[in-house]
Every structure is written in structure tokens, then in C-alpha cells.
């Protein structure tokens, strides 16, 4: 699997003005990053008074359609700078899952999910075309930077919407901030990605302190989300980042406690305020009974990790969901029950879930043995290149693959795996570009994004 460059004789004659070209590059990179974060948002969720927006296409569909138009424009104006065979098994898997909608046992759900798969496939093809037309290094660098900026805006928005005056900051009134990230699990994953980006991109001097400090804030938001999956992603990603980063051993050992410093400082501040109030003559009864963010976040983790995992194991029905998918796939082991055909109703009959929160289980249940085989071809093909080079290629794309890979095994459905597919595609582009550069005898100028 290698980069193939077209000859100059095959290049289109049409030229694009340099300034317009650069502007389109930025728009395409920003649009691609937005698609990964938008989720299933639609315009009608803006809740604007006296304005019906239900007829307007969803944000994701509109964004992907716009990206597709840009990629078509570039296909007629720019040469194909590189090709990547990895896209073909990936699209083959999505195409098969779309085809299974023809025999789905849930026709209504299959139509909705078919739209998800179509949007995901169109996005990946557009992302692929934009990369091979614009250039691997330039486009992926822009894409990573815009994705990082969006993650930063997401973190700032969450902090601005948190009511820090609330005695229970993680109560129902404040958990609405996680809706900005499509729920606690997705929000926690995004904040974990922000943490790793900041640590991987650390520079020397005072920027090191700044990066660790901001990474501490995003780590705090992961802990505050209460998502055990996000916590697992944070721990594994952090261990790999600390092991692979080319910094002093002392700094790598110091980073984990330093990440907790912004959160721990809230407990110090709370103690100082109570001491100041006591010195002014206030009685303990007059002092407000308010816990610090450190104490409240510790309570969240104590409840989720210690009580609901160690003492009273509760996996949020993940075992039942995956077991249900396994037996459902056995009913039709060749072609599955069809796209959108999965359905699980908990014994208490209080909620019905339409995906098993595991990409492999979903591929087996709805796509059967063929769907599972195609997904394994994608996964094994990627792993054969990723695992042997993980140390030398560790960067934001690598961290994104690991974090979103863990997420796809614990949360979300096939559309929620768009981050995994996109980062895997981007990593393969970067890997093949580096290998091609070395084979050509050129200086290795590819930055580990």
C-alpha cells in the first residue's frame, strides 16, 4: 500500500488562483473537523422562537454535501497527488451495511440508519478526495489544527455554561453542558483528545507549563463527565503518550500529578476562603456549605468507579447489549438482520436501545458474517501498519485512533465511529506519505500530526 503520484502529463490545465485555493483549503479542513464534532445535530434543535426549522437539512448532511461539492470541484481542477487503497475496504464495509437495509427487520429504523451510513460514506470519500487533491501534509495539518480549535471551543463553552455557584455542579441542572458534545461519553472522549493534543504538541519553555495547565482543565472535564469509558480512554491514551513522547523522564513522570493541579487548586482556594471567613469572625453556621470542584469531581469518580464498578459492578447493560447482538447475528449468520434491525429492550421495559454500543457487535448483528468479515479486513489491514510503527508515528492522529477505537467498543453506533474511520484514514495517508518520502530518498519532513 503506497503512495502513487500521477505524471505531469495527466494534470488538468485549469488553474486556481492561489488566494482562492488557500481559502478553499481552510474551508474544507474546517468543514471536515466540524462534521466529526456535530454528531446528529439539526437546525430545529436551536429552539428559535416562532421559527420552524424542521424542514432545513441537518447540519451534518448540509456540511457533508458542501464538502462533496468542494471535492468534486477539486477533482476537475487539480491532479490526483496520491492514492490510498485503504479507502476501498472501508467503503466496501459501509456499502454492504447499506445494502443490508433491503432485508432489515425494522424498515422504519433502516431508512434512518441508511441515511447515517450514506452521510458517513460520502464524508469519507470527500475527505479522501480532498487529501489526495490538496496534499497529505498541508491538508491533514490544517484539519488537525481546526479540530483542535473546535475541541478548545467546546471546552470553553462547557466551562461558560457550568454554574459554578451550584452546590451540586454535576447535578441535572449542569449536565446539560454535555449535550454540546452529544452526551457525557462523547464529550468525555473529545476532552480526552484535547488533552493528548496539548501534550503531544508541547513546546519548550513557558509553553510547556501552559500546555500542561490547559490539558489539566480538559482532563478535569473528562472526570466531571462521569463517563467510565472516557476515563479509560484518558488513562490508556495518557500512558501511551507519556511512554512515546520524546521528553525527559522527569517531565513525563511529573505530568500526571500536574494535570490534577488546576482541579486541586479549587480545594486549596475553598480552604483559603473558609479560613478567611473564620478569621473575620463568621461562625461555621454562617459559612456557606459549599464543596470545591475537587471534592465534587472526586464524588463523581467515587460513585462511578468505586461504587458502580468495583463494589457493585454495573456495566450500563453493555454485556446484555453485546450478548443480544451475538444471538441476533446467529439468526442470520450470513447477511445479518439488516441495517437498523438491532433492538434490545431492557428487562424493566423502561428503555429500548437500537444499537449494541459496540461496532463489532453491530456489524455482526446487522451485517452478519459478511459485515463482520469486511470490518475485520479494515481493522487488520490498518493494524498491520499501525502497531509496528506506533512508537515512531505517535502523534495526534495516532492518539485519535486509539481513543476513538476504545470509544467504538463501548459507545455509539456505526455513524458515531466516523471519528475512528476518519482518523484511521488520515493516519494511513500520513504513514504512506512518510514511507514514500523515504523510498524516494527525500528528507523526512513529515511532521507527526
Distance CA 426, CA 428 (A): 5
Residue 103 DSSP symbol: G
Question: Are 309 and 320 part of one and the same domain?
Answer: no
Element holding 159 (H helix, E strand) = helix 136-161
* Four-residue CA torsion sign, 48, 51, 56, 62: negative
Mean pLDDT value across residues 74-91: 87
Yes or no: say if 300 and 263 are a contact pair by the CB < 8 Å rule. no
For residue 3, tell me if it sits in a domain. Answer: no
For residue 2, tell me if it sits in a domain. Answer: no
Total domain count for the chain?
2
Of 215-229, 359-373, 433-447, the least confident: 433-447
Distance CA 372, CA 370 (A): 5
Q: Write the pLDDT tens digit of every residue in 403-434.
A: 999 999 999 899 999 999 999 999 999 998 88
Question: Are 27 and 74 part of one and the same domain?
Answer: yes
3-state secondary structure of 364: helix
Distance CA 259, CA 235 (A): 12
Last residue of a domain, one of 288, 314, 340: 314
Question: Are 270 and 328 part of one and the same domain?
Answer: no
Question: Are 183 and 116 part of one and the same domain?
Answer: no
Of 53-57, 180-184, 400-404, the least confident: 180-184
Alpha helices (H) in 39-100, listed in sequence order: 59-77, 87-99
- Nine-digit cell string for 283: 461562625
Q: Write the pLDDT tens digit of every residue in 279-297.
A: 655 544 444 556 777 887 8
Distance CA 241, CA 239 (A): 6
For residue 142, tell me if it sits in a domain. Answer: no
Q: Read off φ and ψ for residue 212, nearest 5 degrees.
A: -65, -40
Last residue of a domain, one of 314, 330, 358: 314
For residue 251, tell me if it sits in a domain. Answer: yes
Distance CA 375, CA 94 (A): 9
Question: Are 234 and 328 part of one and the same domain?
Answer: no
For cell 468525555, name the residue: 188
Question: Are 158 and 86 part of one and the same domain?
Answer: no
Domain with 293, as residue range(s), is 147-314
pLDDT at 314 (0 to 100): 79
Question: Are 340 and 422 part of one and the same domain?
Answer: yes
Last residue of a domain, one of 282, 314, 346: 314
**Cα-based angle 171, 176, 179 (whole degrees, multiple of 5):** 140
pLDDT at 9 (0 to 100): 42
Q: Write the pLDDT tens digit of every residue in 114-147.
A: 999 999 999 999 999 999 999 999 999 999 999 9
Q: Write the pLDDT tens digit of every residue in 300-323.
A: 888 888 887 877 877 888 899 999
Q: Read off φ and ψ for residue 339, nearest 5 degrees.
A: -60, 130
Q: What is the DSSP string of 245-287?
A: S-S-HHHHHHHHHHHTHHHHHHHHHHHHHHHHHHHTT--TTTS
Question: Are 203 and 300 part of one and the same domain?
Answer: yes
For residue 336, tell me if it sits in a domain. Answer: yes
For residue 430, tell me if it sits in a domain. Answer: yes
Report the chain's terminal Cα–Cα distance, integer Å: 20
Question: Are 177 and 309 part of one and the same domain?
Answer: yes
Q: Write the pLDDT tens digit of every residue in 353-397.
A: 889 999 999 999 999 999 999 999 999 999 999 999 999 889 999
Question: Are 168 and 285 part of one and the same domain?
Answer: yes
For residue 180, tell me if it sits in a domain. Answer: yes
**Cα-based angle 200, 203, 204 (whole degrees, multiple of 5):** 135
3-state secondary structure of 345: strand
Alpha helices (H) in 162-260, listed in sequence order: 184-200, 206-225, 228-244, 249-259
Q: Assess whether pLDDT exceeds 60 at residue 26.
A: yes
- Nine-digit cell string for 93: 464495509
For residue 1, tell me if it sits in a domain. Answer: no
What pTM did the predictor assign? 0.88
Q: Give 155's contacts (C-beta < 8 A, 6+ positions apart).
A: 191, 194, 217, 218, 221
* Four-residue CA torsion sign, 424, 426, 431, 435: positive
More confident residue, 263 or 90: 90
Question: Are 436 and 331 part of one and the same domain?
Answer: yes
Question: Are 158 and 30 part of one and the same domain?
Answer: no
Q: How far is CA 120 from CA 39, 114, 177, 279, in A?
A: 11, 10, 26, 61
Amino acid at each position: 500500500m503506497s503512495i502513487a503520484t500521477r505524471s505531469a502529463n495527466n494534470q488538468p490545465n485549469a488553474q486556481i488562483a492561489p488566494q482562492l485555493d488557500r481559502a478553499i483549503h481552510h474551508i474544507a479542513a474546517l468543514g471536515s473537523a466540524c462534521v466529526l464534532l456535530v454528531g446528529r445535530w439539526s437546525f430545529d434543535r436551536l429552539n428559535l422562537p416562532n421559527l420552524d426549522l424542521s424542514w432545513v437539512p441537518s447540519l451534518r448532511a448540509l456540511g457533508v454535501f458542501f464538502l462533496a461539492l468542494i471535492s468534486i470541484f477539486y477533482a476537475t481542477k487539480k491532479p490526483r497527488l496520491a492514492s490510498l487503497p485503504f479507502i476501498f475496504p472501508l467503503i466496501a464495509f459501509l456499502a454492504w451495511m447499506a445494502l443490508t437495509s433491503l432485508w432489515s427487520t425494522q424498515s422504519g429504523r433502516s431508512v434512518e440508519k441508511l441515511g447515517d451510513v450514506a452521510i458517513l460514506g460520502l464524508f469519507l470519500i470527500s475527505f479522501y478526495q480532498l487529501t489526495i487533491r490538496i496534499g497529505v501534509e498541508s491538508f491533514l495539518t490544517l484539519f488537525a489544527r481546526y479540530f483542535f480549535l473546535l475541541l478548545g471551543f467546546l471546552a470553553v463553552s462547557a466551562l461558560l455554561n457550568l454554574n459554578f455557584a451550584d452546590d451540586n455542579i454535576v447535578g441535572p441542572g449542569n449536565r446539560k453542558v454535555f449535550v454540546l458534545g452529544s452526551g457525557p461519553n462523547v464529550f468525555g472522549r473529545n476532552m480526552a483528545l484535547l488533552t493528548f493534543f496539548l501534550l503531544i504538541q508541547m513546546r519548550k519553555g513557558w509553553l510547556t507549563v501552559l500546555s500542561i495547565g490547559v490539558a489539566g482543565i480538559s482532563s478535569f472535564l473528562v472526570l466531571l463527565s462521569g463517563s467510565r469509558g472516557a476515563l479509560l480512554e484518558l488513562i490508556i491514551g495518557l500512558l501511551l503518550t507519556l511512554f512515546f513522547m520524546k521528553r525527559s523522564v522527569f517531565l513525563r513522570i511529573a505530568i500526571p500529578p500536574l494535570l490534577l493541579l488546576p482541579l486541586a487548586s479549587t480545594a486549596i482556594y475553598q480552604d483559603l476562603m473558609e479560613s478567611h471567613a473564620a478569621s473575620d469572625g463568621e461562625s461555621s453556621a454562617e459559612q456557606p456549605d459549599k464543596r470545591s470542584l475537587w471534592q465534587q469531581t472526586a464524588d463523581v469518580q467515587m460513585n462511578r468507579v468505586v461504587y458502580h464498578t468495583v463494589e457493585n459492578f454495573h456495566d450500563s447493560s453493555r454485556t446484555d447489549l453485546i450478548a443480544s447482538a451475538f444471538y441476533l447475528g446467529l439468526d442470520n449468520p450470513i447477511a445479518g438482520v439488516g441495517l437498523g434491525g438491532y433492538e434490545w429492550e431492557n428487562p424493566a421495559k423502561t428503555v429500548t436501545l437500537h444499537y449494541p454500543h459496540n461496532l463489532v457487535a453491530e456489524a455482526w448483528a446487522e451485517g452478519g458474517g459478511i459485515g463482520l468479515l469486511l470490518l475485520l479486513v479494515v481493522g487488520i489491514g490498518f493494524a498491520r501498519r499501525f502497531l509496528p510503527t506506533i512508537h515512531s508515528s505517535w502523534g495526534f492522529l495516532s492518539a485519535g485512533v486509539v481513543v476513538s477505537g476504545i470509544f467504538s467498543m463501548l459507545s455509539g453506533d456505526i455513524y458515531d465511529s466516523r471519528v475512528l474511520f476518519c482518523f484511521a484514514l488520515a493516519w494511513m495517508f500520513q504513514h504512506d506519505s512518510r514511507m514514500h518520502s523515504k523510498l524516494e530518498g527525500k528528507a523526512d519532513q513529515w511532521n507527526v500530526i
